[in-house]
C-alpha cells in the first residue's frame, strides 16, 4: 500500500512537531512492506528520511496552510496514487481522492475551563471546521482518553471512530546516573545543587500556570535549600512580567533558557521535583519525560495531566498556590515520599512508548487503506 504523510508541522517546536517527527520515524523503522510518500512544505526537509528504501519525498508548495491542506495535498495524493493520507495534526484534506486519518492533540477548544486560552477567531474556526474534518476522516486518532471522550460528547460520532493512542517521550529519556554527564549538564546550564524543575515557553506562561508556580514557590521558599529552575526559550521575560524581585525568593529562581533535548534527561535526573501544575494539556509530553527519568512529579487535576501521570504523581488544584506549596513540602521534606514517587514514575513510564504508538497507528492505517 502507499501511505502518504502530511508533514507541514515537522519543524514545530511544540508537541505536534515532536509527534510528527517521531511517529514518521517509528513507522518507517517498523514497516518495510508498505511504501510511504512524505509531503513537505519546504525543500529544506528533503533528505530527512531518504535513507529508508520504501520512502518517496515530495515538496508540495502552496501560499498558505489552508491551500496546502485543501488544494495542493489532494492533487499530490492523486498524482502519487496514495491509498491513505495521514496527517499528524488536526485536519484532513476534504477533497483527497483517498482515505484519510488525522490526530487530535487536545479538545481544549470545547472545554469551558480551557477555551479561554485561544483567541475568538481560533475558537470560531475550530468549532466550525473540526466537526467537518472528523466526519470526513476515515479514522481519527486521539492522544488521550479525555480528548476522545470530549469529542465523542460534542460531535456524537459513531462509536469507535476516534481511538485513543498514547505516544511517549523520546527514546533518549531514561534515568541518568553517570556522574560525568550530570556534571557536564549542570555546568552547561549553571544549575544549582538542589532544585525544582518546571518547563514552559515565554509565550505560554498563562497556560503553564507560571503565576501559580511562582506564588507557590514564594510560599515554600526557605523550607529547604531548593531553588526553582524555569527552563524554556524566552522564559527570562517572566521576571519582569510577573514582578519577580531580585532578592529574597526571586534570587533563587533561575532561567537557563532553551534546553537541548539531549540534555533534558540529565536535568530531569538532577531535579528533586518536576513541578507541572498546568491549566491545559491533552497529552503532556514533559510528564512522560519525567516519568521515564524517575523524577517525582507534582501536577494538576485538570485535563489530561492526571490521566497521564496517574498515581505516580501528586495531583493538586492548580488554581490554589497554597495547595501547590503544600505538595512541594510533602515531597521535598520527606525522603520516603520522594523515593516512592520516583519508583512509581519509572513503573508508570512503561505505559508510554513510541513503539506501541507506531504499532497501533500502523494497524489503523493499514485497516483504513485496505477498506478503500
Q: What is the pLDDT of residues 15-58, one digit of tens each?
A: 788 899 999 999 999 999 999 999 999 999 999 999 999 999 99
Closest C-alpha to 350, from 266, 298, 294, 296: 294
Q: Is the pLDDT of residue 124 over 90?
A: no
pLDDT interval class at 115 (50, 70, 90): low
The H or E element spanning position 329 is helix 321-332
User: What's the confidence (pLDDT) of residue 306?
Assistant: 87
Query: Percentage of residues in the chain with pLDDT exceeding 90?
Result: 81
Identical fold between 2-168+353-371 and 179-351: yes
Name the more confident of 206 and 40.
40
Q: What is the pLDDT of residues 148-198, one digit of tens each?
A: 999 999 888 888 999 999 999 988 999 999 999 999 999 999 999 999 999
Most confident residue range from 14-18, 69-73, 367-371: 69-73
Place of cell 503553564: 208
Place of cell 485543501: 70
Classify 2-168+353-371 by CATH class.
Answer: alpha beta
Q: What is the pLDDT of residues 231-240, one digit of tens each?
A: 999 999 999 9
C-alpha cell at 5: 504523510
Q: Is the pLDDT of residue 13 over 80?
A: no
The answer to whether the beta carbons of residues 89 and 18 sit under 8 Å apart is no
Q: Is the pLDDT of residue 127 over 90?
A: no
- Cα torsion 275, 277, 281, 283: sign: positive
Mean pLDDT of the chain: 93
Q: Is the pLDDT of residue 108 over 80?
A: no
- Taking the alpha carbons at both ends of the chain, their separation in whole angstroms is 11
Q: Is the pLDDT of residue 216 over 90?
A: yes
User: What's the confidence (pLDDT) of residue 114?
Assistant: 66
Q: What is the pLDDT of residues 264-292, one digit of tens each?
A: 999 999 999 999 999 878 788 899 999 99
Q: Which residues are bridge partners to 273 per DSSP?
A: 196
Average pLDDT over residues 126-149: 93
The answer to whether the beta carbons of residues 269 and 296 sit under 8 Å apart is no
Q: Is the pLDDT of residue 125 over 70?
A: yes
pTM of the model: 0.84
Closest C-alpha to 318, from 278, 273, 290, 275: 278
Domains of the chain, residue spans: 2-168+353-371, 179-351
C-alpha cell at 162: 476516534
Instruction: Give, as one character, the DSSP assignment of residue 95.
Output: T
Residue 35 CA to residue 52 CA, distance in Å, equals 10
Average pLDDT over residues 236-251: 96
User: What's the confidence (pLDDT) of residue 173?
Assistant: 95
User: What's the confidence (pLDDT) of residue 360?
Assistant: 97
pLDDT interval class at 207 (50, 70, 90): confident
3 state SS of 159: coil
Residue 21 CA to residue 317 CA, distance in Å, equals 33
Instruction: Give, as one character, the DSSP assignment of residue 237.
Output: G
Instruction: Give, as one character, the DSSP assignment of residue 53.
Output: T
Letter string b/e over residues 68-106, b meaning 16 or more CB atoms within 10 A of that residue's CB: bbbebbbebbeebebbbbbbbbbbbbeebebbbbbbbbb
Instruction: Give Cα separations from 138 to 1, 35, 100, 360 (angstroms).
Output: 16, 20, 5, 16
pLDDT interval class at 372 (50, 70, 90): low
Closest C-alpha to 324, from 335, 340, 313, 334: 313
Name the more confident of 13 and 38.
38
Superfamily for domain range 179-351: Glycogen Phosphorylase B; (3.40.50.2000)
User: What's the confidence (pLDDT) of residue 233?
Assistant: 92
Q: Is the pLDDT of residue 111 over 80?
A: no
Q: Is the pLDDT of residue 203 over 70?
A: yes
78: which residues sit within 8 A by CB, 6+ positions away? 97
Q: Is the pLDDT of residue 116 over 70?
A: no
Name the more confident of 240 and 306.
240
Amino acid at each position: 500500500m502507499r501511505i502518504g504523510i502530511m508533514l507541514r508541522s515537522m519543524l514545530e517546536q511544540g508537541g505536534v512537531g515532536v509527534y510528527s517527527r517521531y511517529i514518521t520515524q517509528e513507522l518507517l523503522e517498523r514497516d518495510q512492506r508498505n511504501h510511504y510518500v512524505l509531503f513537505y512544505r519546504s525543500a529544506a526537509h528533503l533528505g530527512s528520511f531518504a535513507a529508508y528504501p520504501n520512502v518517496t519525498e515530495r515538496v508540495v508548495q502552496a501560499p498558505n496552510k489552508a491551500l496546502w491542506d485543501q488544494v495542493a495535498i489532494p492533487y499530490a495524493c492523486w498524482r502519487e496514487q496514495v491509498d491513505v493520507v495521514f496527517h499528524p495534526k488536526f485536519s484532513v484534506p476534504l477533497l483527497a481522492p483517498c482515505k484519510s486519518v488525522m490526530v487530535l492533540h487536545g479538545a481544549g477548544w470545547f472545554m469551558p475551563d480551557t477555551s479561554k486560552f485561544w483567541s475568538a477567531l481560533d475558537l470560531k474556526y475550530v468549532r466550525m471546521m473540526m466537526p467537518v474534518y472528523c466526519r470526513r476522516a476515515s479514522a481519527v486518532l486521539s492522544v488521550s482518553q479525555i480528548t476522545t471522550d470530549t469529542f465523542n460528547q460534542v460531535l456524537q460520532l459513531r462509536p469507535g471512530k476516534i481511538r485513543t493512542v498514547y505516544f511517549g517521550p523520546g527514546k533518549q529519556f531514561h534515568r541518568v546516573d553517570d556522574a560525568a554527564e550530570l556534571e557536564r549538564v549542570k555546568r552547561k546550564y549553571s544549575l544549582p545543587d538542589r532544585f525544582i524543575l518546571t518547563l514552559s515557553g515565554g509565550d505560554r506562561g498563562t497556560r503553564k500556570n507560571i503565576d501559580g508556580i511562582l506564588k507557590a514557590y514564594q510560599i515554600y521558599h526557605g523550607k529547604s535549600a531548593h531553588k526553582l529552575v524555569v527552563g524554556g526559550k524566552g522564559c527570562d521575560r517572566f521576571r519582569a512580567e510577573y514582578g519577580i524581585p531580585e532578592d529574597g525568593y526571586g534570587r533563587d529562581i533561575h532561567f537557563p533558557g532553551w534546553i537541548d533535548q539531549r540534555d533534558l534527561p540529565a536535568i530531569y535526573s538532577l531535579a528533586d521535583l518536576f513541578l507541572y501544575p498546568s491549566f491545559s494539556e491533552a497529552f503532556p509530553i514533559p510528564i512522560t519525560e519525567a516519568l521515564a527519568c524517575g523524577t517525582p512529579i507534582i501536577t494538576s487535576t485538570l485535563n489530561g495531566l492526571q490521566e497521564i501521570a496517574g498515581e505516580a504523581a501528586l495531583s493538586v488544584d492548580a488554581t490554589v498556590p497554597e495547595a501547590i506549596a503544600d505538595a512541594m513540602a510533602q515531597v521535598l521534606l520527606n525522603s520516603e515520599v520522594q523515593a516512592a514517587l520516583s519508583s512509581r514514575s519509572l513503573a508508570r513510564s512503561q505505559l508510554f512508548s513510541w513503539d506501541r504508538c507506531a504499532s497501533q497507528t500502523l494497524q489503523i492505517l493499514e485497516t483504513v487503506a485496505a477498506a478503500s
